[in-house]
Amino acid sequence: MARHFDHKLEQQQAPAFFVHGPSALARLAFFSAISLVLLAADSRLQYLASVRQSLQTIIHPLQLLANKPSQFYRDVDEYFSTHNHLLNENQQLKQRVLTQDVALQKLNSLALENDYLRQLLQTNNALVESSVVAEIMHVGRDLFTKKVIVNRGEMHKIAAGYAVVDATGVIGQVTRTYPLSSEVTLITDKSLAIPVQIERNGLRAIAFGHGRDNTLDLPYLPANVDVQQGDKLVTSGIDGVYPAGLAVATVSHIEITPDSPFARIICIPTGGIESHRHVLIVSIPSVEALQKKAMDNPDKLKTDPIEVPTKVPAKAPAKMQLNNTSKPHAPE
């Protein structure tokens, strides 16, 4: 009974004639309607992008606060890592630096040679990408999509569309930027497609994320296609998003059924999609920047690949943004 009394007391805090407010059904109708309007405005009309950005700025400090415990755990863990472990790691890193230095020396001379040959052929110089190192803040909370949030955003000159790679391969693409963080859609997401090339024979295709598990599909390839198990897929670079020649995936399974004209090819991504903490955000100069450069340098304009159709790859995907002649397998 005491509780009953309390219950009454609680309700009498509001003015007596307006105790309950609008009925539950009215509230349901009102708020459902607003939600539906929001859903439509956000998904179809993209009106709320700026609202989302400003709200995200408010949430960012909270996110940092929430990241503190795990960060603290990692810091403590690193602090108490043993001497032996550090020595081992140091040695490994030194060896890697040595081998990479040798490779880099070769690369420098090759790059010089390449530039010289390009000048001889009077073609455009290879695109120079700029890159930013970012740290993964957390994995996307939506189980239906494959996304990660990284700690670099508009303030660090990141824009939607930039490619995200790690030491072993392509990870994904920046799809949404906030002032201090950005959202990276992984290549295993259902909505992301990436133009690839088979390293062995130069065959071009488009890889789609599978969505449910961490695999990629290579759809729309005929059943008699020359793809073997273990083939390496690299970025073809014809989309103007990903630099050419980065590892994407390895073909793990090929299935050819008599009832389908297409082969069913499943690939496993080479990048450490769910294991690394640091990634590299790579940007290829935009079409506008390239055009500006061409205007500044008019003698390059006449050799622009847009005006030389033989340089344009025969099977370019629809979303091709610029012609990148730095591909090793461009048909001549």
- Residue 191 CA to residue 207 CA, distance in Å, equals 11
The span from the CA of 164 to the CA of 274, in Å, is 13
Q: Which is nearer to other proteins, 216 or 247 (CB)?
A: 216
Q: 176: Cβ–Cβ under 8 A, 6 or more apart, which residues?
A: 160, 182, 183
Angle of CA points 207, 208, 211, to nearest 5°: 145
Q: Where are the beta strands (DSSP E) in the chain?
A: 130-139, 147-150, 163-166, 169-177, 182-186, 193-198, 204-209, 216-217, 232-235, 247-255, 264-269, 278-283
Question: Is 63 or 326 the residue whose CB approaches other proteins more closely?
Answer: 63
Minimum Å distance from CB 150 to other proteins? 12
**Collapsing DSSP states into helix, strand and coil, what is residue 147?**
strand
**First-last CA distance in the chain:** 91
Instruction: Give the start-end residues of each E strand in 187-277.
Output: 193-198, 204-209, 216-217, 232-235, 247-255, 264-269
- Closer residue to other proteins, CB minimum distance, 6 or 113: 6
Nearer to other proteins (CB atom), residue 19 or residue 104: 19
Q: Are 283 and 130 in contact (CB under 8 A)?
A: yes
Q: What 8-state DSSP symbol labels residue 167?
A: T
Task: In angstroms, give the least distance from the CB of 207 to other proteins.
Answer: 17
Q: Quote the CA–CA distance of 269 and 97 in Å, as a whole number.
A: 25
Closest approach of Cβ 169 to other proteins, in Å?
20
State the number of CA atoms in the 13 A half-sphere of 188 facing the CB: 23
Closer to other proteins by CB, 60 or 293: give it. Answer: 60
Rounded to 5 degrees, what are φ and ψ at 285?
-55, 140
Nearest to 52 by CA among 185, 183, 178: 178
Which residues of this protein are in contact with other proteins, per CB under 8 A? Answer: 2-4, 6, 9-11, 13-14, 19, 21, 24-25, 27-28, 31-32, 34-39, 41-43, 48, 52, 55-56, 59, 62-63, 65-67, 69-70, 137-145, 147, 149, 176, 183, 190-191, 211-212, 274
Q: How far is the CB of 164 from other proteins (least distance, A)?
A: 16
Closer residue to other proteins (CB): 8 or 83: 8
CA 81 – CA 61 distance, rounded (Å): 29
Shortest approach of other proteins to residue 78 CB, angstroms?
17
* Nearest to other proteins of 62, 314 (CB atom): 62
Tokens of 294: 């061409």
The CB-of-26 to other proteins minimum distance in angstroms stands at 9
Nearer to other proteins, 103 or 139 (CB): 139
What is the smallest separation between the CB atom of 120 and other proteins, expressed in angstroms?
A: 49
Q: Give the β-pairing of 147-150 and 130-139.
A: antiparallel
Query: Nearest approach, Cβ of 307 to other proteins (angstroms)?
Result: 39
